[in-house]
Amino acid sequence: MEQIKIFMQLLKSSFRDLAPIIIVIAFFQTVIIQQVPENLFSIVAGLSIVAVGLAVFIQGLETGIFPLGENLANEFARKGSLFWLLLFSFLIGFSTTIAEPALIAIADRAEIISQGRIDSFWLRITVAFSVGMAILIGVLRILLGHPVHWYIIIGYIIVVTITFFAPPEIVGLAYDSGGVTTSTVTVPLVTALGIGLASSIKGRNPVIDGFGLIAFASLTPMIFVQLYGILVYFSDEITTKTISSQLPLETVTYSEHEPHWIVELIFNLFGVIKDVAPILAVIIFFQYFVIKRPVPHKKKVFAGIILVISGLYGFIVGLDIGLFPLGETMAIQLTQSGSILLIYIFGFLVGFATTMAEPALIAVALKAQEVSEGKINDFILRFFVATGVAIGIALGCYRIVAGDSIHYYIIGGYIFVILLTYFAPRYIIPIAYDSGGVTTSTVTVPLVTALGLGLASNIPGRNPLVDGFGLIAFASLFPMITVMGYGILAETFLKKQREVKR
């Protein structure tokens, strides 16, 4: 009975997370566009499957995966074994990212649009490896006590430098890869690891030193995916001219392949099992061969693993049926409406509404309020993050419409972030960097990505591969600016209050 109550709460939360998207889209469909989507039934069915799948997936994580992972993180922090701690950090980063639902969705989409030149599996391996390296470096930074912003600034310089050598087809995807790595699976484990380490080491501050791992996990994929793109495109004999500027998007529906839909579903299920396997392998290896203790509550853990696989499978099926077609339909309708302003308003509202209800952001904001002893208000922090995401997506839509190169916007944004870093209070900087990573959820990413690809496919002269990706990068960049702005405003207000009391 207790597990059923927990599941019903999670299901309620999943539908709550979807509610802002549904409200915004319903408003635009009925009031602005005044059209009902032809595939309304399949969209509703897909959204329902996404909500149920996400609830089952999270219950499985909380029942079986998270307790084991958090226990291992605490054990390593107490033992103080540097080698095993760093190896664990790398493998946790790698294994959680390879199974990240949002990354799976984006990688599969990139393979379709690039006509197979970008391989979905190797793209995910590249991103997962980069996140593993990011968590390893981030943990080492906590142990050494170095300021997080020096690492981030150096990382930005590397990203910008590589951008000038990377093929244009990979740049937007690389920037987006930084945003999709830190979501449902990764954030809770990584945040717990960072704060746990900072709390257990003398001389470390959980606010200043504990946060920042998410920022590393968002930064390094931009570097590694661009390097992957250089390798793929510069070693390929086929020139970039072979990619059509008006490549149609494929919307995968199981009705299109009715004779083989059962085989396809079974094949996808085995794919999900393969995706979850690395997490299980890492945890079991460290549990039995390093910690040398049996897995506690084996039946509960096994049930959790089954729930994780089932939930992730349902989530991916729901994306194909509901969210991707929905985003593409909205993009087509908005481009045909004749009003460019509507595209920007839609992007802004979707960004704000989905971010305010983002579970990972709520968790991080509450933790930030707790460890900052009230200096940071969780609701105000979420408001500033959501505003940053809304501005980012609206500006990203403008970039697609205008046909501008993404790297000029991102470079300008990074320069602004670096400047703000010198003025922002120290306690807000790691949280601001992390905020860019927790805004892009498993629900938001597919819809926003489909919107970008849909716009690039329906605006003359745009290339889906070059112009379609990048909205997630904008959604990850601007919260860093708005949150540091919030920190500067809050600190100024506190100083004035102190002066008045004197």
Each as own residue / partner, the long-range contacts of residues 486-490 (CB below 8 Å, 24 or more positions apart, any chain) are 486/380, 486/381, 486/384, 486/428, 487/424, 487/425, 487/427, 487/428, 487/429, 487/432, 488/420, 488/423, 488/424, 488/425, 490/375, 490/376, 490/425, 490/428
So where are the chain's domains?
Answer: 2-237+247-501
Instruction: Say how far apart CA 423 and CA 300 lie, in whole Å.
Output: 49
The pLDDT of 257-280, averaged and rounded, is 67
**Model confidence over 244-254: pLDDT tens digits?**
444 444 444 44
User: Between 239 and 123, whose confidence is greater?
Assistant: 123
pLDDT confidence of residue 476: 85
Largest CA distance in the chain: 79
What does the block give as tokens for 86? Answer: 């760093």
pLDDT reading at 273 higher than 50: yes
* Alpha helices for 99-167 (secondary structure H): 101-113, 120-144, 148-163
Q: What number of other Cβ atoms are within 10 A of residue 247's Cβ?
A: 18
pLDDT confidence of residue 69: 63
pLDDT reading at 357 higher than 70: no
Q: Is the pTM of this model over 0.75?
A: no
pLDDT reading at 329 higher than 80: no
pLDDT confidence of residue 255: 44
pLDDT confidence of residue 70: 62
* Alpha helices for 357-438 (secondary structure H): 359-371, 378-402, 406-423, 429-438
pLDDT confidence of residue 244: 42
pLDDT confidence of residue 223: 93
Instruction: Say how far apart CA 123 and CA 172 lie, in whole Å.
Output: 14
Of 105, 104, 109, 110, nearest to 124 by C-alpha is 104
pLDDT reading at 130 higher than 80: yes
DSSP notation for 220-244: HHHHHHHHHHHHHHHS-SS-GGGS-
pLDDT reading at 387 higher than 90: yes
* Alpha helices for 424-470 (secondary structure H): 429-438, 444-458
The pLDDT of 391-407, averaged and rounded, is 90
